[in-house]
Chains A and B, each alone.
Chain A
Amino acid sequence: GENVEQHPSTLSVQEGDSAVIKCTYSDSASNYFPWYKQELGKRPQLIIDIRSNVGEKKDQRIAVTLNKTAKHFSLHITETQPEDSAVYFCAAREGPARDDKIIFGKGTRLHILP
């Protein structure tokens, strides 16, 4: 089955700087890669996702890149703000169907320093 590795586990960046979180996956059949933001005690919220037929996707300050050959995908947050502080999870869906399992990385705790 799919295995998703995520790094770093903790990341502190100065407000206004950029943050990068990296993930790798093992199953070449995976074709959908969502990123979730989870605030303490709350449900995960989808912030951006990327499909395997796309190499990069951007939504305002957030961008995700995907390298299918290397099985790497990354989240980039630019001009970080205090409200970006949260835990971020990358994930990979094991198959093409919408009800295929989604496997999560271990998470990255992002701290935005004032």
Chain B
Amino acid sequence: GAVVSQHPSWVICKSGTSVKIECRSLDFQATTMFWYRQFPKKSLMLMATSNEGSKATYEQGVEKDKFLINHASLTLSTLTVTSAHPEDSSFYICSAPTSGREIYNEQFFGPGTRLTVL
């Protein structure tokens, strides 16, 4: 199957700093990527849809100035958590649907990034 990577896998930062998380599709191009947030023992909550070459689409209640998304190329989307606070500590996972003629394509998930804000 297709491979999606994330970097870093785990980051610990001080409150007030910004953290950038990268999501890469390694063997396919992704015009769209999704960013999810997952709290311990909870479901995946969609934060935003990252669109290559255009602005991201944020879900209701997600602060776009807090969670900056950039999709600069067909294989890379970045999520920057600005001025991080302890309540931003979470597991962030990206996913990307594969390209191809078939429309019912699977979404492949990255391994996730665990963010801990002290």
Contacts and interface: CB of A to CB of B under 8 A. Distances in A.
B43 A34 contact: no
Interface residues of A, number: 24
Contacts of A41: 112, 114
Contacts of B105: 98
A95 B49 CA distance: 14
Nearest to A87: B41
Given A106-B42, A107-B43, A97 B109 contact: no
Given A101-B34, A101-B49, A44 B43 contact: no
Contacts of A104: 43-46
B97 A89 contact: no
Contacts of A102: 34, 46, 95, 107
Contact of B32 (A43, A99, A105, A106): A99
Given A43-B112, A44-B109, A99-B97, A89 B104 contact: no
Contacts of A20: none
A92 B52 CA distance: 23
Interface string B80-118: 000000000000010101111011111101111010000
Contacts of A87: 41
Contacts of A106: 42-43
A103 B76 CA distance: 22
Contacts of B112: 41-43
Contacts of B93: 43-44
A46 interface: yes
A89 B44 contact: yes
Nearest to A97: B103
B24 to A, nearest CB: 14
A34 B103 contact: no
B25 interface: no
Contacts of B102: 98
B75 interface: no
Interface of A: 32, 34, 41-46, 49, 51, 87, 89, 96-99, 101-107, 109
Given A45-B109, A46-B107, A87-B41, 5 more contacts: A43-B112, A89-B43, A102-B95, A102-B107, A107-B42
17 contacts: A42-B111, A42-B112, A43-B93, A43-B110, A44-B109, A45-B109, A49-B106, A87-B41, A89-B43, A97-B103, A98-B98, A98-B100, A98-B103, A98-B104, A101-B34, A104-B43, A104-B45
